[in-house]
Chains A and B, each alone.
Chain A
Amino acid sequence: MTAATEVLVPRRRIVLRAPALGASGWLALAVVTLVVVLAAFAPLVAPHDPDTGNLLTPYAGPSGAHWLGTDATGRDIASRLIYGARTSLLGPAAIVLLSLLIGVPLALVSAWRGGAVAFVITRALDVLFAIPGMLIAILAAAVFGAGLRSAVLALAVAYLPYTARVIVSAAERERRQEYVRALTVQGASAVSISVRHVLRNIGPLIASQSTVAFAYALIDLASLSFLGLAVQPPQADWGVLASDRDSVLQGHSTQVAAASVLVVATVLALFVVGARMAGERPSVRGFLRRGRAR
């Protein structure tokens, strides 16, 4: 009897499986990890100081000492790209975190209260949605002065509707589940249900959404730096490095090309990881369509 029962009911254990990223997903994750590691250990990895150059060797070609050569003031381009990864990644991270910090509570309150509260929150987000993010950022630069801080704050506001709307609809769907009603009637508080259950269950979606938002924020922030509105030279940043028109005019395009490739590669990798996390099979066409929709 006992033996039979044990055969019928094996002692299974639910193992948290790694998300099914697939080959392209793992490759993309490797790219992202590499960039993050480079940024984190920049002082150890970078062969030179990014800000001091040798004026005697401007525009030096690639060599053993300078893998990608030097720029107009003789600074090592590879080191500047490695250090540039820091601002280029921290900026978008701050943007996504800030928009989550405001967006998640808004979404949870909206889903929980419904009715007039939800109406006000979603309409306000819609209004914000109608204003292009770059416009807000340019406005912020005009009012508060160009710089990373105003660009990050502006883009965080601009990204709020993108983040919040997805979370609102997911949280609303979750809130309608019977288990929420079951918890309610047990006497659990709104905060505990919203945070411990609703938020936790939509966590994977938020993670996936944030990854893609991070990629777009990277592009937008690099674009703003490119326009001279966010990170200011001489600080190293991919957007700043990609905007060095003078060097291109002088026939030295290594820095601009390398910075651009880094931006594109990181963004694509993030996009693939985010899509894979959401269970989608990303395609170039899908990426372009999304880009246009924005």
Chain B
Amino acid sequence: MSRRECMAWGAGALALALLATVPQWMHNDYYLSLLISVLMYSVLASAWALFSGPTRYVSLATVAFFGVGAYTTAVFGETLPWAAVLLIALGVGVAMALVVGLATLRLSGVYFVIFSFGLAELTKQLVTWWEVNITKDLGRYVFVDITAQDIYWQLLVLLALVLGLRAWIARTRLGLALRVIGEDETVARHVGINTTRVKVLLFTLSASFMTVAGAMMAPRWTYLDPTIAFAPAISFQTLIMALLGGAGSLFGPLLGAVPLVLLFEFLSAHFPNHFAILVGLVFMVIVYAVPQGISGWLRQRKSKSGGTQ
């Protein structure tokens, strides 16, 4: 590891420690809940980019895993210790991602996008069917002894884990394999990469973070039904945040998540009736104006200014 990398890891650890102290001195519930939103989308966008960044498989299945995680908390939250709930969420997320991944990662391009969106809807409908026909109650109450501060800290740890994992993978052969798959899958196979295994592995890792994030977030809602837990907007917002920031770089998803959570918060507070329209406009502006993402745009500027010197 070079000296620069040591410094980067040190700086990251310091930033994490500083962020961890925030709930100690900030006692405003509104700002804390805003920070929780920022963290939640930072985790989701980073987890999304873990798989979709290098492979360029655009997934709209984020909320399928997130919602399943939330439901895990709703079902087991009251009876089991918290750590066990999170472990069950992790296990369910891994199992679901493996099944889905093995069945579908042979699809590519637009077929995968549509499939992933369908998966989210299918999961939502299955849960709805179960609640209506089996439990006979569409809504659930989440009574768990978890405070907003706890959620903040848990999400912060999850974010550190997903960023650490991405940084580590980028250094390994696995990271190289992902980049080659993103460039050209045929070439990837012909240089000896087991593309199916690599894709399923990364899809599963990505999904497990999303599921656990859902389980951690569930106590925020107290009341949960499938339209809340499986809201497609979560998938779309995760996607657009990762794209705005730049899914290829480590901190890109954060560059997208932080401003957009704040923007969406502002829009929903001031224009509650036009929120969906405005979010749609934001999507279009982002796709037109920063197709490379903020991190790609910064890199371009840097290389340009470096070239003229």
- Determine if chain A interacts with chain B: no
